[in-house]
A and B are shown apart, each in its own frame.
Chain A
Amino acid sequence: MDDKPPLKLLSPQEWESLIDDFQYGGARRQKWTAAYAILPSLVDQALASLLKRDFPLKLLLVLFLEEFSDSLFADSDSDSDSRRSFLHRLVDTLRSLLQSTAPDGFAVSFSFKEQFMVSVTSILISLETGLDRPGFVEELEALVESLLTVVNRPNHGFDRQIRAVACECLRELEKAFPCLLSDIAGHLWSLCQNERTHACQSYILLFTSVIHNIVVERVNVSILNISVPLAPFSVPQILLSKEGSSAGLNYKELRRAIAFLLEWPQVLTPSAMMEFLGMIMPMALALELQTSMLKVQFFGMIYSFDPVLCHVVLTMYSQFLDAFDGQEGEIARRLMLISRETQHSLVFRLLALHWLLGFGEMLLKKGDGGKMKSFVEMGLKFYPSVFDPLALKAMKLDMLAFCSVCPDVRNSNSESDKLVVKLFQDGLISVSAFKWLPADSTETAVAFRAFHKFLIGASSHSNADPSSTRTLMDSTIFHTLQGMLVDVMLECQRLVPVIVALIDRLLSCQKHRWLGERLLQTFDEHLLSKVKVDYKLVSCFPIFDRIAENDTIPPRRLLELLTKFMVFLVEKHGPDTGLKSWSQGSKVLGICRTLLMHHKSSRLFLRLSRLLAFACLYFPDLEVRDNARIYLRMLICNPGKKLRDMLNLGEQFLGISPSPASSIFSVQSPRSTHNVKKPSNLSSYVHLERLIPLLIKQSWSLSLSSLSIGNNKPGNLEDIRDPEPIVEEREIDGSSSDTIQIIPENERINKPREPLRVMDSKISEILGRLRRHFSCIPDFRHMVGLKVRISCSLRFESEPFNCIWEVGPPFGGLDVIDSLPAIYATVIKFSSSAPYGSIPSYRIPFLLGEPPASGNISGQGVSLDIVPIANGSREDKRFRASVTVELEPREPTPGLVDVFIETNAENGQVVCGQLNSVMVGIEDMFLKAIVPPDVQEDEVPGYYADLFNALWEACGTSCNTGREIFLLKGGKGVTAISGTRSVKLLEIAAPSLIQSMERNLAPFVVSVIGEPLVNLVKDGGIIRDVIWEDAASHDDDDKGDDANARDDFERGPLHLTYFDETTDRDSVVNITKRNMGCFLVLIFLPPRFHLLFQMEVSNFSTLVRIRTDHWPCLAYIDDYLEALFLA
């Protein structure tokens, strides 16, 4: 504080701004206190200025000191010295001021003296922190003494007002230090008796406070005693010693004093009367006065139009219930009349009604049912009149509502029920304009306030309230109100939002929620059937929305109405209603959305899906159709809880958007950026798995990848295409320009004819078959190639997913499914380095996470009955989505397909990443050969058999067909066959071979030869529609009957000689001891290759002769066969 300069000398203007700044507070005050050492200097200057003769702002300055001394000194609590000296100087100044009676020219004006007295007293009181503060008592005594000097001149002429003010100062001191003046009470009494000017009010009040404090503090002093002199004044011992000397009151004297005081109430102003009675009432209680005396004396004040006096009477009533017993009716009537006095300002009329309500509540709480009768009887008097201000009308409606809850009315019969309805209806007439005024009119607000009051009636919000909802629900008033609201909505749809606000208000109230629900139910029952289906219906939508939100209301009626409305919209649609159809259709969908969010899907399903389907099909507006489709999809695909969460999420972001459907999709974009950053090894908990596992696992992919990397793809193709490289090139060229195109075409047409050579009928038959076959094979370069489909399933584990994506367990659904995470709008993309063409991505709208393993659940202490459900549901289809990988191989090789996933978590996060690759094996490439469309179904086995034979021949070493080229489908591409042969011996018993065959290669078998084998296989029924051949009947027509043939087979070597036509068969027979027969297997390898097996089955081993026109595949086939049969 020392470092700051003392306050500079202020001019009056500066004083003024200082005072302003102090009052303004905040920074403006800081300006002064920060710059100067306020405390000693400011006070010094102020006191000095006050004593100056011509200082213009004295009054202001005194007031400033009064208002701010407290905070000035509060800043430096320790500085008690300066405080003391300040007080000392103040009191001193006051004393000298009061003594300066000299009316010389400038004369201290009376009003300044008065204000100074008041201010000094006020400062002293507000600075006081305890009488024990050193030096304080002295100042107090000095002040009291000066004031007493002023007071002690009763009936003195010109200074009567200043004496009155001095009395007030003393009274204030007495209030602050109770019993300060108790020792001189006798003097004060006599002063009080003597004073006859208008100042007597202050004397009376002063004396009253003194004896009030005596009574309250129970101090034993004689108030008749005037032995203690007025001056010098000293603070009584009881105050200083702080010991309650409650020796008992001197009742007699005190009663006399009160009797004296009660003689003079008529000299008091109304405000003083309030103060006076405020002190008298506790005394009367303490001294056990006859309170009926007070009633006689003061009850008449209730007839005054001064509101203060009326309130005093009310206060007296509540304090002296016994004395005023029986006056309730009169008081209530009087208050009612005050409210009707148009001369009063509005606020007092309102206050009177509030008092009356409070008064009634007081009686109700006391359980004085009988006294409430007067209220009910007065009911009619509370009818608002036309010219009552709306505020008053509102209060009068409150009064009517109060009358309706009075026990008299409540406990009774239908008659009083009718009375309530009558009160309500009559009362409402005064604001019935709400029906035609705008919805935001004040009349509407008042009317709906009354609706609310009458609705909830006597059901309080306290938990202890016994009033049952049943009685309220059955009451006539409730029914009337319901009907009224329905009518209002039918008549003036403008008011729907207001009604919705009322409903919302009830719904948000814990205690009255049921009321709101009940109202909505009523609307559902009565409104929906009555509304007219036209364009105006949309104004009722807010209420429909509330109905839709409420799951206590079956959605049947609403959906029916909405369907009707949709039909209406569709029917009315015309060129000029485009926008309207869109807007209203969207709003209907908005309600559908609300329904989806708040109801169980099963409850809605039938009607809602019908509505949505109708909209999808017929609604004229595209957006509405689209949205309807999306909703329909959601309704069908997604389980309820998820659906709700999903829709709800949209709401948070797009609360304003009227177009409801886009929500899910819009959510992603703002969030995707920062979420992508998250590192995720998705593959550890999101799995894309093959449905049929591959026979060969790891080694495959290795051998393949090296192969495909090593071979340049086009080169590879070129190799395979060797037979007609020129044609290929030309064709490629040809596609670039029209002119050239013609030429190669001619050439190409010529070319097949070019190699003219001699062919026997067998070869030409073979060629014919092959041509026919190849003409069915699409040329992938010009059209959609042959597809290979690999079925997989996608699943993900809930727990790791939740942890990583912070989806958090959704809000405590009891259903296990509800607590599982889900992913939405999943896109799975594939890519591969293998020649598989472009692989289309796959989309999954919705997928639930797998429930955590059962062990976890029980470990977490969840009740055991969940476990079986969880176990069962793991296999549930809901947790797996089937994914088909569609390859369009350029070359039949195994390979790896890389998988990328992009999906959305429930909280809108975008989840993307790579999953484990899908392995493609050679067996995935196995297709059945294409059957030309002109082949009848029953001819198919025959066709296959012929084709097999033809290909077998063509791939043989005797390369009769080697130079032939075959046109592919579409006529643009050609191919040739260059066959390769191979052999594989499988050391496996026949039954297990047959089993494996049946399991894995059954579709490809074209023919089974040999009776023993046929017998074995045919019964299995798995290999069907093939050519069954006896070896005898086919190959050896001259060999007798079946039995022989069989014997021959068993005797293998014997037959050798018969099979010499085909060297291959000879060798087989030679090797195999017991030949049972043979499978012919034709496998088509996309895009245009073949794999042929001739499997000669013996009891303990099988020889597989392999021919193919795609030699690289032999590498895999070897492994494949081993895995297939030997594993």
Chain B
Amino acid sequence: MPSGCSIRAIWILNNLDSLVFSRRFPVVEKRWRAVCERENEASAADDSLKYTVFHLLPSDSELVSAFVERKRGEGSTRGLGTRVSQSVKGSDSWVDDPITRHIIGLYINKDEDGDNNLLWPVILHMKGQFSVLVLPLVEPRHLKAYACLCKRSDCGNAVGVDDSLSSLLLDLPSITGAFTVAHAIGDIISGDGVEPEVVVSSAPSVGGLLDSLTGSIGISGISSRAKPVAAPVASASPSGAAVAGNATSDAPRIGARSLDKDALRTFITSAMPFGTPLDLNYSNIFSMKINGFSASDLPPSDLKQPAWKPYLHRGKQKVIFTIHEIIQAALYDRDEIPDSISISGQINCRAELEGLSDVSFPLTGLNKNQIEVLSFHPCAQVPEHGVDKHSLMFSPPLGNFVLMRYQATCRVGPPIQGFYQLSMVSEDKGAFLFKLRLMEGYKSPLTMEFCTVAMPFPRRRIISFDGTPSIGTVSTTEHSVEWKILTSGRGLSGKSIEATFPGTVQFVPWKIQRLPSNLASGSIADEDSDIETDGSNNIINIDECLMEKMNKDLLSVDLEEPFCWQAYNFAKVSFRIVGAPLSGLSIDPKSVSIYPTVKAPVEYSTQEPYGKLSFLVLMTISLPEVPFKVANVYTYRSIFSYQQVTSGDYILWNTLGPCPSAAVPKV
């Protein structure tokens, strides 16, 4: 079997575990059956491999019941991921690998046929309320290898020496391909960017750079010849996007959006007519479906037009770069734990150039010590030995795209420094103190547009609050206190300020509020009936005592979360700084060259209308209580053009309480 990727079937289930879409690819299925027959014949001859692979594709009902069965056994849709006490042999969690939350095995007709009919690897991608299941074609031996892994009777894999899931995954590009398919489908069904019209409708009326974009996008939805669709740029959602929303991830939300099955069928027909993915760029596919081609769409005279660029731009030419960085920080203000600050950034680009032009520019300020990861859009031509010369050449596709991603450290100090201390004076009353310095050491073009500090108390209800900050305003909600240090419109530029905020907060008395947890409920249950902490134990500190009490009811988080947010007290800072990227990376507009040579017009930043190039560094953090999705929609409207409002985790840990940390490598 060639090392390509073929899909046997796709299923989409909603959050009520009913199947809303299914698609099978009989050509791939025929290949699978042929291989199975050969394999089963061979294994019949060879006694050591008695296991026969399941060669049929399940019907929808069989699949759903297998899926529900797995969910029941594993405690949640995703599964346990690691082998814990409730794992059973033959299940995914028995393999003891977190990736089994994404690559799952299903037993078809388990009741009748037992563990024989294993369907693997089923790619599970959860998007919104839907679960997308994709079954790529693998060889029977891979399936057998996995079956061995999840039924092994020993204590689990030893790294590097046993036959492992890792080497299987390395051998199977089809799994990787299936994931990209699943993600593409997920984007379509969740509506993230499938509907180019949204971009158009929200596009008007904001000046500067946006006008220039509407010029081209605006036509797309309306005119018959719309080409480029604004590609969703902010595909990256940094970790911890859904802060504290962990426990609800599997909870069903009723009122499911109906699925646009026709759009899906159209996409599948074009993207993978026979089950083999060819092009998963849905904006291209949909604009081709909507617009078709006319005789006037001439191909380039001497070159081949790339498959990823079905249309060529005509008209005004321009190139826009946007550098978008997200800063993540964990500030401890402790001697024993160093602060950790990291920046993940990307260069977004929109190049409206006629023909098939190549763009190249040198990356300046690319200090190896600060920027450590560089990865590029497939259109970029990266020489064999990586980017040594710091010069990048690419032939841009249509629309907005992410040209480059990087991880960096902060060139200057953190934009906000200081500490947050919260101490419980009684079980239901806490005294806190903030002392922050903003923009220490930040020079003039850098402007902090707003800055908000939120103290979330997701598990406690606030009764009253007392305290006045040295600057800014304070508001409270049921579960959080929000301190607006800088409000938008009053940017902070060229100077640094100090802000302090002492206060107290009073909570509703603590009650045990154990929710019916869906997994692990009975595991260690009533065991401690007679070890209950009587008052006589030696906790003197009220903080510790309370923590002990509260931690008892903590629900475990998903493996997708970095830690159990609710176990800690912290303040989360949201801010936005514009003016320059913090990593020090920059693009000198003068040195951008385009081949074949065209006169590319200049573009403008929001600060400097009609300036040369724009740097927009956006850093915000959404409130933990507000789901990411909602925040996105709001910001989408107001800062509509770039969809760059993303959230990073900028956390001030309570200096007086426990906090998560990680070791920093000292070389």
Contacts and interface: CB of A to CB of B under 8 A. Distances in A.
Nearest to B332: A386
Contacts of B342: 385
Given A66-B26, A168-B274, A271-B180, A351 B240 contact: no
A110 interface: yes
B27 A126 contact: yes
B164 A437 contact: no
B218 interface: no
Contact of A341 (B344, B395, B530): B344
Contacts of B170: 314, 318, 354-355, 358-359, 362
Contacts of B660: 386, 430, 432-433
A510 interface: yes
Contacts of A442: 556-559, 561, 564
Contacts of A887: none
B35 to A, nearest CB: 13
A433 B660 CA distance: 7
Contact of B169 (A26, A351, A538): A351
B661 A430 contact: yes
Contacts of B5: 271, 274-275, 308
A323 B85 CA distance: 47
A461 interface: yes
Q: Interface residues of B toward A: which range? A: 35 or more
A172 B27 contact: yes
B461 interface: no
B61 A438 contact: no
Contact of B298 (A157, A312, A583): A157
Contacts of A309: 378
Contacts of A281: 2-3
B46 interface: no
Nearest to A350: B99
A23 B12 CA distance: 13
A354 B179 contact: no
A257 B4 CA distance: 21
Q: Tell me if A's interface is mostly helix, strand, loop or mixed.
A: helix
A457 B99 contact: no
Interface in B384-407: 384, 386-387, 395, 402, 405, 407
Given A442-B564, A458-B158, A460-B162, A391 B559 contact: yes
Interface string B652-667: 0000001011111111
A438 B554 contact: yes
Interface in A285-301: 295-296, 299-301
A456 interface: yes
B269 A361 contact: no
A441 B247 CA distance: 12
Contacts of A159: 293
Contact of B84 (A269, A445, A459): A445
A165 B279 CA distance: 12
A401 interface: yes
Contact of B158 (A26, A312, A348, A459): A459
A440 B305 contact: no
Q: Tell me if B's interface is mostly helix, strand, loop or mixed.
A: loop
Interface stretch (A500-508, A904-912, A1069-1077): A500-508
A271 B278 contact: yes
Given A279-B2, A343-B238, A460-B162, A196 B303 contact: yes
B23 interface: yes
B445 interface: no
A405 interface: yes
Given A158-B293, A461-B162, A505-B155, A390 B373 contact: no
Interface in A318-336: 318, 330
Interface string A267-284: 111111011011101100
Nearest to A203: B304
A158 B294 contact: yes
B215 interface: no
A69 B27 CA distance: 12
Interface stretch (A114-122, A864-872, A875-883): A114-122
Interface stretch (A376-384, A594-602, A811-819): A376-384
B527 interface: yes
B113 interface: no
B159 A337 contact: no
Interface in B255-305: 262, 265-266, 269-270, 272-274, 276-281, 288-289, 292-301, 303-305
Contacts of A354: 99, 165-166, 169-170
B110 to A, nearest CB: 15
A1036 B545 CA distance: 106
Contacts of B23: 63, 67
A307 B531 contact: no
B530 A342 contact: no
Contacts, number: 483
Contact of A157 (B2, B293, B301): B293
Given A25-B59, A63-B265, A308 B273 contact: no
B554 A198 contact: no
A452 interface: yes
A344 B236 contact: yes
Interface string A581-607: 001100000000000000000000000
Interface string A908-950: 0000000000000000000000000000000000000000000
A272 B160 contact: no
B662 A342 contact: no
A427 B161 contact: no
A197 interface: yes
B495 to A, nearest CB: 30
A306 B60 CA distance: 32
A258 B465 CA distance: 74
A305 B102 contact: no
B158 A456 contact: yes
A157 B153 CA distance: 62
B22 interface: yes
Interface in B236-252: 236-240
A497 interface: yes
B308 to A, nearest CB: 5
A583 B381 CA distance: 72
A24 B562 contact: no
Contacts of B395: 266
A722 B376 CA distance: 126
A125 B30 CA distance: 8
A281 B305 CA distance: 24
B172 to A, nearest CB: 9
Contact of A383 (B547, B551, B665): B665
B8 to A, nearest CB: 12
A155 interface: yes
A70 B289 CA distance: 29
Interface in A360-393: 360-362, 364, 380-381, 383-393
B269 A115 contact: yes
Contacts of B166: 354-358, 361
B534 to A, nearest CB: 8
Nearest to A319: B3
Interface string A523-537: 000000000000110
B99 A364 contact: no
Nearest to B172: A311
Given A269-B308, A497-B527, A390 B561 contact: yes
B531 A536 contact: yes
Contact of B179 (A114, A351, A431): A351
Interface in A375-422: 380-381, 383-395, 398, 401-402, 405-406
Q: Rank and list the top 9 A-B pairs by shortest CB-CB distance, nearest first.
A: A25-B59, A358-B170, A343-B236, A509-B155, A391-B98, A380-B665, A201-B307, A460-B161, A426-B663
20 contacts: A24-B61, A126-B29, A158-B295, A271-B278, A275-B5, A299-B384, A343-B405, A357-B159, A358-B167, A358-B168, A360-B160, A391-B559, A405-B161, A433-B564, A439-B524, A441-B564, A443-B556, A445-B80, A449-B82, A461-B162
Given A269-B281, A279-B2, 9 more contacts: A266-B379, A268-B306, A270-B378, A271-B272, A307-B176, A386-B662, A457-B158, A458-B161, A539-B527
